[in-house]
């Protein structure tokens, strides 16, 4: 006869010490008293996972855990839950709500100072916190040369990735000869997991507008463009409102603040093409063409939008500018390292306890980001690597955790600062799989102009796929390395030149994982499905049938109360059995 | 606006408008309405705040919106400040929780500790 | 050629002063308003802007958000990047496919829905996420799907 319910009770020593045997006796006793002995089976298992809260039991098919159970409670549970079908809320184990805690330690807010504090749809809120005061000072008291000089002293470098000194970029545009000059804000933020710019555009749009006005004054431009990806509809709406209000208040348009300076801004939207974040591709897109990069030189400062001198910076760079002019270059330069000044926003994602968006002084160590800001690795697993710089960045292993986060240090490790994405990986992450993930991304986003990038990334992806599927060949690693070099040499733009970085950096620091995949046909992190097997430990299996019932392909056989077996030829390695097993009997090898 | 003086005047009046207590309103409710907030249901939260305030005719409470507070996993987030006391930031505030916040914090000036987000300074 | 198409193309193009430099904008607006850009629309626009049809199509086909094939009245773009996937995206995706009875890239027979994916929209902390037209929904679970879909099909339209 089949039982209608099962009660598993933990026989863990800690539970026994706290009276699990007495609880079990009380359970059995009460079940017989209520004539449920034939309907409900009681079994002792080695552990249920919360030994510190024992005695513990779990009732199936409901899958409800009870903790800190006394014999008295046990009798009550039998009567309420098993007889009357009313689970006992008071004794149920509940995942404690995580304390809502902000990762604010070590944060220094410059760019994000106003975000979350002001109403982005109300220009007066921005003005209340000294908004447009820097612009007013610039337009009424300073010459363009003085503005450039302040920026030079501040040490501000481009926040879009490459870290080119902002004052120098502006100086080139100022010195370039042209009837018309343009200012562009690059808001085509496309790296997976990175959303620093969206947050600034949505939360403090006027800071970016003000920075652009100052830039326009410094280089002598009268027209500017915001290029924002269409995937950010709320940022675009907020920006539209902000531009309208700035015009109404006379902060954009003709004769701003009676200074005689004219400047206006328009929004241009992307339409779903990652490569448009590259500056020359972006300008092609504004001009209404396919967004394909072109050769540099000429650089945009000399010949950019419609062949006119153009200055292009990203959202975060412009947002820093008003603060620098208001508080002084010395203040800005007091934060950061010798060559990398100020703060930087990072989107911290992956296997850390606290993910999210932070702003920290440059020069903070990776260890501080992972452990102090991120709160350490999720489930206290082992740290493996941090990926910086998005799809064109690299993976940095544990031995470099004490490296400061600045442009030069990251570059020396084969990665980049990029726009500020950071993905933290733990021991369960397969580095070959990660390299494949990023290669898939750039392969799809390659614009197709240069053969090394268009064809090379595809070939590299095929090799990586083969390795992950257990079809790797001796020589594959060397082939990946030489193809990487060819793509770096032959591609025109940053996307192509950076595409091999995730592969090269993982080969450099985790070569043994590639070798395990190729030569031993093993995935050490147990991620690549073709290289792992699932099996059930007969000593642990209690024959509860959950795995067999949940298997999507009926690969598991076995009768109730008997050991179950997985047929490897049918198994699709989805891992569901491991997830549902109440006693941890499923192993991955 | 055509001069520095005008800019200064707007700043002063805006600061006054934002202040609570003697000159401004009695309390302020701020709802984070970045994309992350909206994705997590901030529009419904905002609507519940406005409905509740209208229903109870709390004319001395200002409601405003702001951008992402940087703790997206706790969205929808709401900040309540009563008078000149420290603002309290709350996480995961759905319409049902709005009701409690209005009753306990806005009306009786008792912050609801359970939903408070600890912002370590 | 359909007169309605020509008029629509003319009006969108006029919005940007028939400026060839606003081609990406014009195409995106047309795609949004007409659901997709038909061969007729390409021809009409090419004539309006005095460009070869191939050049107009070339620009359109470069951008993933400009549709050159018919799709449903509402387009779901589901984020399939890693963070959303880890947060349970697959179950939600399965629920979407089941609720709509279509698979990736397909349109429902009644022309209401098209199911697509998107690149990361930067909402990883509230994943899984999806865009329905321009509305964004986060913290998705399979249970939330019917409710969200109903907002678009009920008489009142979008809340």
Q: Is the confidence at residue A357, as pLDDT, over 90?
A: no
Across the interface, do A127 and B10 touch by the CB < 8 Å criterion?
Answer: yes
Tell me, what DSSP letter sits at residue A406? Answer: S
* Higher pLDDT, residue A465 or A189: A465
Residues of C in contact with B39 (CB under 8 A): 123, 126, 129, 136-139
Coil, helix or strand at residue B63: strand
B88-90/A586-588 β-pairing: unpaired
- Distance, CA of B77 to CA of B33 (rounded, Å): 9
* Higher pLDDT, residue C48 or A16: C48
Instruction: Give residue A509's pLDDT band: very low, low, confident or very high (50, 70, 90).
Output: very high
Instruction: Give residue C156's pLDDT band: very low, low, confident or very high (50, 70, 90).
Output: very low
Q: Is the confidence at residue A41, as pLDDT, over 90?
A: no
- Distance, CA of C22 to CA of C16 (rounded, Å): 6
In this structure, what token pair is assigned to residue C58?
Answer: 């070339």
pLDDT at C155 (0 to 100): 47
Mean residue pLDDT of chain B comes to 88
Nearest to B73 by CA among A455, C153, A367, A101: A101
Q: Is the confidence at residue B86, as pLDDT, over 80?
A: yes
Q: Which residues of A91-120 are buried (b: 16+ CB within 10 A; e: fewer)?
A: bebeeeeeebbbbbeebbbbbbbbbbbbbb
B14-26 average pLDDT score: 79
A268, A285 Cβ separation under 8 angstroms? yes
Instruction: Give residue C83's pLDDT band: very low, low, confident or very high (50, 70, 90).
Output: low
Across the interface, do C125 and B35 touch by the CB < 8 Å criterion?
Answer: no
- Distance, CA of A370 to CA of A349 (rounded, Å): 10
pLDDT at C32 (0 to 100): 85
- Distance, CA of B31 to CA of B64 (rounded, Å): 6
Across the interface, do C121 and A190 touch by the CB < 8 Å criterion?
Answer: no
Instruction: Give residue A364's pLDDT band: very low, low, confident or very high (50, 70, 90).
Output: very high
pLDDT digits (tens, 9 = 90+) for C14-58: 999 999 989 999 999 999 888 889 999 999 999 999 999 999 999
Q: Please identify which residue in the block is written with the tokens 């989805």.
A: A574
Across the interface, do B75 and C126 touch by the CB < 8 Å criterion?
Answer: yes
End-to-end CA distance of chain A: 36
Across the interface, do B73 and A355 touch by the CB < 8 Å criterion?
Answer: yes
Q: Please identify which residue in the block is written with the tokens 């920290």.
A: A360
Out of A190, A290, A291, the one facing C119 most closely (by C-beta) is A190
pLDDT digits (tens, 9 = 90+) for A243-294: 999 999 999 999 999 999 999 999 998 888 888 888 999 999 999 999 999 8
pLDDT at C133 (0 to 100): 85
A421-426/A343-350 β-pairing: parallel
Rounded to a whole number of angstroms, the distance from the CA of B66 to the nearest CA of chain A is 5
* Higher pLDDT, residue C9 or A192: C9
Residues of C in contact with B75 (CB under 8 A): 125-126, 138
Best residue in A116, A189, A322 to probe B by mutation, most B CBs within 10 Å? Answer: A116
Q: Does B111 touch chain A (CB under 8 A)?
A: no
Q: Does A354 touch chain C (CB under 8 A)?
A: no
pLDDT at C157 (0 to 100): 40
Rounded to a whole number of angstroms, the distance from the CA of B2 to the nearest CA of chain C is 31
- Distance, CA of C101 to CA of C98 (rounded, Å): 5
Percent of chain B with pLDDT over 90: 58
pLDDT digits (tens, 9 = 90+) for A178-222: 999 999 999 998 887 788 899 999 999 999 999 999 999 999 999
pLDDT at A105 (0 to 100): 63
Percent of chain C with pLDDT over 90: 47
How is A184-249 classified by DSSP, letter by letter? EEEE---STT--HHHHHHHH-HHHHHHHHHHHHHHHT-SEEEEEE-TT-HHHHHHHHHHHHHHHHT
Chains adjacent to B (≥3 CB pairs closer than 8 angstroms): A, C
Mean residue pLDDT of chain C comes to 87
A224, A264 Cβ separation under 8 angstroms? yes
Out of B1, B17, B73, the one facing A257 most closely (by C-beta) is B1
- Distance, CA of A231 to CA of A235 (rounded, Å): 9
Best residue in B28, B34, B37 to probe A by mutation, most A CBs within 10 Å? Answer: B34
Q: Is the confidence at residue A413, as pLDDT, over 70?
A: yes
pLDDT digits (tens, 9 = 90+) for A422-431: 888 999 889 9
Instruction: Give residue A349's pLDDT band: very low, low, confident or very high (50, 70, 90).
Output: confident
Element (H, E) at A586: strand A586-588
- pTM, rounded to two decimals: 0.82
Out of A190, A194, A233, the one facing C134 most closely (by C-beta) is A233
Mean residue pLDDT of chain A comes to 90
Q: Is the confidence at residue A145, as pLDDT, over 90?
A: yes
- Distance, CA of A561 to CA of A558 (rounded, Å): 9
Backbone CA torsion sign across C141, C146, C152, C158: negative
pLDDT digits (tens, 9 = 90+) for A523-577: 999 988 889 999 999 999 999 888 998 888 899 999 888 999 999 999 988 888 8
A460, A503 Cβ separation under 8 angstroms? yes
Residues 6+ apart with CB under 8 A from A518: A467, A472, A473, A474, A476, A477
How is A329-381 classified by DSSP, letter by letter? HHHHHTSB-SSSBSEEEEEEEESBSS-EEEEEETT-BHHIIIIIIS-SBGGG-
Q: Please identify which residue in the block is written with the tokens 């796929």.
A: A465
Residues of B in contact with C124 (CB under 8 A): 72
Q: Is the confidence at residue A119, as pLDDT, over 80?
A: yes
End-to-end CA distance of chain C: 37
- Distance, CA of A393 to CA of A409 (rounded, Å): 13
pLDDT digits (tens, 9 = 90+) for A299-314: 999 999 999 999 999 9
A160-179 average pLDDT score: 93
Out of A272, A285, A290, the one facing C64 most closely (by C-beta) is A272
Across the interface, do C136 and B38 touch by the CB < 8 Å criterion?
Answer: yes
Out of A271, A286, A349, the one facing C63 most closely (by C-beta) is A271
Percent of chain A with pLDDT over 70: 98
Q: Does A376 touch chain C (CB under 8 A)?
A: no
pLDDT at B119 (0 to 100): 66
pLDDT at B20 (0 to 100): 78
Across the interface, do C129 and B39 touch by the CB < 8 Å criterion?
Answer: yes
pLDDT digits (tens, 9 = 90+) for A382-407: 999 999 988 889 999 999 999 999 99
- Distance, CA of A160 to CA of A419 (rounded, Å): 5
pLDDT at B22 (0 to 100): 61
Q: Least CA distance to B43: which residue of chain C?
A: C159
A57-60/C74-79 β-pairing: unpaired
Rounded to a whole number of angstroms, the distance from the CA of A468 to the nearest CA of chain B is 32
């Amino acid at each position: 006869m089949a039982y209608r319910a099962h009660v598993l009770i933990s026989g863990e020593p800690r539970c026994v010490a706290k009276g699990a045997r007495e609880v079990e006796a009380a359970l059995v006793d009460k079940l017989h008293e209520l004539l449920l002995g034939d309907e409900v089976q009681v079994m002792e298992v080695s552990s249920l996972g919360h030994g510190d809260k024992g005695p513990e039991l779990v009732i199936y098919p409901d899958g409800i855990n009870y903790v800190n159970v006394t014999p008295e409670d046990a009798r009550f549970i039998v009567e309420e839950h098993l007889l009357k079908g009313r689970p006992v809320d008071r004794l149920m184990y509940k995942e404690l709500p995580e304390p809502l805690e902000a990762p604010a330690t070590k944060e220094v807010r410059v760019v994000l100072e106003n975000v979350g504090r002001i109403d982005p749809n109300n220009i007066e809120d921005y003005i209340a916190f000294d908004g447009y005061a820097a612009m007013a000072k610039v337009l009424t008291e300073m010459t363009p040369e003085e503005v450039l000089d302040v920026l030079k002293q501040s040490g501000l470098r481009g926040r879009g990735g490459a870290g080119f000194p902002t004052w120098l970029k502006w100086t080139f545009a100022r010195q370039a000869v042209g009837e018309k000059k343009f200012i562009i804000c690059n808001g085509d933020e496309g790296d997976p997991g990175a959303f620093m710019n969206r947050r600034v555009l949505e939360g403090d749009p006027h800071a970016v507008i003000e920075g652009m006005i100052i830039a326009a004054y410094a280089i002598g431009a009268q027209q500017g463009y915001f290029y924002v990806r269409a995937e950010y509809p709320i940022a675009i709406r907020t920006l539209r409102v902000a531009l309208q209000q700035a015009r109404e208040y006379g902060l954009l348009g003709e004769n701003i603040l009676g200074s005689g300076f004219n400047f206006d801004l328009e929004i241009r939207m992307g339409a779903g093409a990652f490569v448009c974040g590259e500056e020359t591709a972006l300008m092609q897109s504004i001009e209404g063409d396919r967004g394909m990069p072109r050769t540099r030189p000429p650089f945009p400062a000399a010949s950019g939008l419609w062949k006119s001198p153009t200055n292009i910076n990203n959202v975060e760079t412009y947002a820093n500018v008003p603060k620098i002019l208001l508080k002084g270059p010395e203040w800005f330069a007091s934060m950061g390292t010798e060559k990398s000044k100020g703060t930087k926003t990072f989107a911290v994602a992956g296997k850390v306890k606290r993910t999210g968006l932070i702003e920290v002084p440059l020069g903070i160590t990776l260890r501080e980001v992972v452990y102090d800001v991120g709160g350490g690795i999720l489930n206290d697993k082992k740290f493996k690597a941090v990926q910086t710089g998005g799809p064109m960045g690299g993976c940095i292993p544990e031995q470099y955790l004490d490296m400061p986060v600045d442009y030069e240090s990251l570059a020396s490790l084969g990665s980049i600062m990029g726009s500020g994405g950071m993905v933290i990986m733990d021991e369960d992450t397969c580095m070959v799989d990660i390299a494949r993930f990023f290669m898939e991304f750039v392969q799809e986003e390659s614009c197709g102009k240069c053969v090394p990038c268009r064809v090379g990334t595809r070939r590299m992806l095929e090799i990586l796929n083969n390795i992950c599927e257990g079809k790797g060949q001796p020589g594959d690693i060397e082939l990946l390395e030489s193809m990487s070099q060819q793509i770096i040499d032959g591609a025109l733009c940053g996307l192509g030149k950076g595409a091999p970085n995730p592969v090269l950096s993982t080969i450099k620091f985790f070569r043994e994982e590639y070798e395990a995949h190729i030569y031993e046909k093993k995935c050490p992190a147990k991620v690549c499905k073709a290289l792992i097997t699932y099996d059930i430990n007969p000593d642990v299996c209690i024959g509860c049938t959950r795995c067999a019932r949940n298997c999507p392909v009926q690969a598991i056989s076995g009768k109730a109360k008997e050991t179950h077996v997985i047929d490897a030829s049918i198994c699709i390695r989805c891992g569901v059995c491991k997830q549902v097993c109440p006693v941890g009997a499923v192993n991955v090898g | 606006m055509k001069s520095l003086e005008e800019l200064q005047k707007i700043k002063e009046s805006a600061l006054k408008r934002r202040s609570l207590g003697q000159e401004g309103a009695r309390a302020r409710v701020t709802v984070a309405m970045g994309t992350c907030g909206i994705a997590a249901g901030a529009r419904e939260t905002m609507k519940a705040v406005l409905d509740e305030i209208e229903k109870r005719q709390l004319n001395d409470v200002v409601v405003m919106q702001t951008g992402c507070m940087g703790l997206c996993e706790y969205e929808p987030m709401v900040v309540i400040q009563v008078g000149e006391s420290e603002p309290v930031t709350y996480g995961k505030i759905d319409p049902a929780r709005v009701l409690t916040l209005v009753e306990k914090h806005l009306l009786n000036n008792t912050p609801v500790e359970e939903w408070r987000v600890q912002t370590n300074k | 050629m359909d007169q309605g198409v020509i008029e629509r193309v003319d009006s969108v193009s006029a919005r940007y002063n028939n400026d060839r430099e606003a081609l990406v904008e014009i195409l995106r607006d047309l795609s949004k308003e007409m659901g997709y850009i038909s061969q007729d629309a390409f021809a009409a626009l090419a004539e309006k802007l005095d460009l070869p049809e191939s050049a107009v199509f070339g620009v359109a086909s470069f951008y993933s958000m400009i549709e050159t094939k018919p799709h449903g009245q509402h387009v779901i773009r589901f984020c399939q990047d890693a963070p959303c996937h880890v947060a349970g995206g697959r179950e939600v995706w399965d629920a979407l496919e089941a609720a709509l009875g279509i698979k990736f890239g397909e349109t429902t027979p009644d022309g209401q829905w098209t199911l697509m994916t998107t690149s990361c929209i930067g909402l990883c902390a509230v994943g899984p996420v999806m865009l329905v037209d321009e509305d964004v929904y986060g913290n998705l679970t399979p249970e939330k799907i019917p409710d969200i879909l109903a907002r678009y099909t009920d008489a009142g339209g979008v809340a």
